[in-house]
Structures are given as structure tokens and as C-alpha cells.
């Protein structure tokens, strides 16, 4: 009976706070570049999480995410090259979503 109780407790604890998957390479690279550019770790991580969520939901393309990363790393020419391949309406929507995400991450709660 004692083992059954311990097993139940272990199962309950394991279910609490499900493990998050590790951050993507793009997430880590963006956060690192953002902090190197003067952002706080909390804000930069928040932005990276938001970008990952936008990509996962389909609201941001992987190409746009790559361009944002290149821009954050200071490679404006490569970022611009990618952005020029995107549909202007999609580009505008993605820029708007990115701006909203950055603003939310930099707004004190």
C-alpha cells in the first residue's frame, strides 16, 4: 500500500509543470544577438518566445523569422534580401505582429 501511495504522488508531481521543450536554435541566436545589442535578458527572451509562437501559429513565416534574426545580428543586407522576396501584404502583417510582440515584451507590467 505504501508503494502505491508513493507511485501516486510521483505521478501527480510528474504531471505538474510539464517540461518545456528546449528553445530553438533561432530562439537562442535571437536572444544572444538581442542581449549583445543592449537588450535585457528578460526582454530578449520574451521576444524570442513570442517570435517562436508566431512562427508556430503560422502568423510569421520561417523566412521572416530568419530575416529578423539577421537584422538583430546586424546583417541588414541579408535581412533585406529575404524581406524583398516576401509578399508585401504578408510582410506588413508580419512586421506588425513583430512590433506588437516587441512592445508587449518591453512594457512594464
For residue range 36-52, what is the model confidence (pLDDT) as tens digits? 999 999 999 999 999 99
Distance CA 45, CA 24 (A): 12
User: Looking at residue 19, what is its pLDDT?
Assistant: 65
pTM (global) more than 0.85? no
Domain range annotation of the chain: 22-106
Q: What is the mean pLDDT of residues 64-92?
A: 94
Confidence grade of residue 1 (pLDDT, cut at 50, 70, 90):
very low
Distance CA 18, CA 72 (A): 31
Distance CA 8, CA 106 (A): 42
For residue range 52-65, what is the model confidence (pLDDT) as tens digits? 999 999 999 999 99
b/e map 3-31, b = 16+ CB within 10 Å: eeeeeeeeeeeeeeeeeeeeeeebbebbb
Amino acid at each position: 500500500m505504501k508503494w502505491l501511495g508513493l507511485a501516486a504522488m510521483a505521478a501527480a508531481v510528474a504531471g505538474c509543470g510539464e517540461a518545456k521543450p528546449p528553445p530553438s536554435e533561432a530562439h537562442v541566436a535571437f536572444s544572444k544577438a538581442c542581449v549583445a545589442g543592449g537588450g535585457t535578458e528578460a526582454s530578449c527572451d520574451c521576444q524570442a518566445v513570442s517570435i517562436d509562437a508566431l512562427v508556430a501559429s503560422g502568423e510569421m513565416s520561417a523566412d521572416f523569422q530568419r530575416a529578423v534574426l539577421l537584422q538583430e545580428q546586424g546583417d541588414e543586407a541579408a535581412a533585406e534580401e529575404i524581406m524583398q522576396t516576401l509578399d508585401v501584404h504578408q510582410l506588413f502583417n508580419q512586421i506588425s505582429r513583430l512590433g506588437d510582440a516587441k512592445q508587449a515584451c518591453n512594457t512594464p507590467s
